[in-house]
Amino acid sequence: MSEEKTPAEKKVEIKTEKKSEETKAPAKKESTTPSTGKKEAPAKKESTPPSTEEKPKTSAQTSGNRRSKFGRPSTIDLENWKPKTELGREVLAGNYESLDSIWDNAKVIREPEIVDFLLPGLEERILKIGKGQRPFKWVQRMTDSGRRSKYFVAAAVGDKNGYVGFGIGRAKDFGGAISQAMRRARLNLTKVEFGSGSWDEASSEGKHSIPYKVTGKCSSVSLDLLPAPKGTGLVANKISSDLISLAGISDLWTKSRGHTKTRVNMAAATFNALKKLSKDNND
């Protein structure tokens, strides 16, 4: 009589049988060619030529054609402009052809894109109001948690054909202050009337100076703008010259009083004087 095996012995036999089957399985041989017996080289993948399809341009690339004086792209993107006001929708539809027609109808411009849409050749300029001819200055305020510093930037825009604007921006970063100042300068646009600075010139040539004397004031700074004959140039400091040249005036005398070293007040006084040359103020 054969002795019966215990369950533990049966498990050991099953495991040994599985191991023997694994060792008996034939190993995979590398494929060889019948003639030479050498290994086949792996098939090379066919290289696909690079696609020539143009990628869609981003808004920063589309607006890169118009750049400010400091190399920054313009902050106004007309291609993706969706008007938010009724006036903006009317301008986009073509109901207004110029800024003069908007002002004649006593409309208020709330979107800077309207100005760029009607004046495509607008030039931007950042005024150097900081210490050492810097294009910015630091402003601080004291809070419970400490001092809070911001960039303070003054900007001007104009087409050198009578339209000029001035704006101020404050932000924690330099780029944000520039964009805010540019938007405010567009919304604060005015049109300047030209004139002649000499009685000897013909009326057709009187588009290089202003028609009469005007005075602008901001804080302690007071500035007089006086007509000058052709060939005189801009007899003014750097800040005032930047604003006056953007308006398209080439010959002018100026007279200033007060603390003129405060460049922001000097720029504001110059713009306030130019605003008095607009048609609306004369009426």
Q: What is the pLDDT of residue 279?
A: 72
Strands 252-257 vs 234-235: parallel, antiparallel or unpaired:
parallel
Task: Please check whether residue 130 lies inside any domain of the structure.
Answer: no
Task: Please check whether residue 129 lies inside any domain of the structure.
Answer: no
pTM of the model: 0.70
- Collapse the DSSP code of 96 into the 3-class scheme (helix H, G, I; strand E, B; otherwise coil) and give the result: coil
Q: What is the pLDDT of residue 153?
A: 94
Task: Please check whether residue 230 lies inside any domain of the structure.
Answer: yes
Task: Please check whether residue 279 lies inside any domain of the structure.
Answer: yes
Is it the case that residue 64 has pLDDT exceeding 60?
A: no
214 band by pLDDT with thresholds 50, 70 and 90: very high
53 versus 93: the higher-pLDDT residue is 93
Count: domains in the chain: 1
Lowest mean pLDDT among 55-69, 152-166, 205-219, 228-242: 55-69
Euclidean distance between CA atoms 224 and 255, whole angstroms: 5
Is it the case that residue 141 has pLDDT exceeding 60?
A: yes
Task: Please check whether residue 46 lies inside any domain of the structure.
Answer: no
- Domain hosting residue 262, numbered range: 194-283
Task: Please check whether residue 150 lies inside any domain of the structure.
Answer: no
Helix (H) or strand (E) holding 222: strand 221-227
Residue ranges of alpha helices (H) inside 25-128 are 59-62, 86-93, 99-104, 112-118
Is it the case that residue 42 has pLDDT exceeding 50?
A: yes
Task: Please check whether residue 148 lies inside any domain of the structure.
Answer: no
Task: Please check whether residue 135 lies inside any domain of the structure.
Answer: no
CA angle at residue 85 from 76 to 66, to 5 degrees? 10
49 band by pLDDT with thresholds 50, 70 and 90: low
CATH of the domain at 238: 3.30.230.10
Q: What is the pLDDT of residue 198?
A: 77
Is it the case that residue 149 has pLDDT exceeding 80?
A: yes
**HSE toward the beta carbon, residue 114, CA cutoff 13 A:** 29
Mean pLDDT, rounded, of the chain: 80
Q: What is the pLDDT of residue 55?
A: 45
Euclidean distance between CA atoms 125 and 67, whole angstroms: 10
223 versus 280: the higher-pLDDT residue is 223
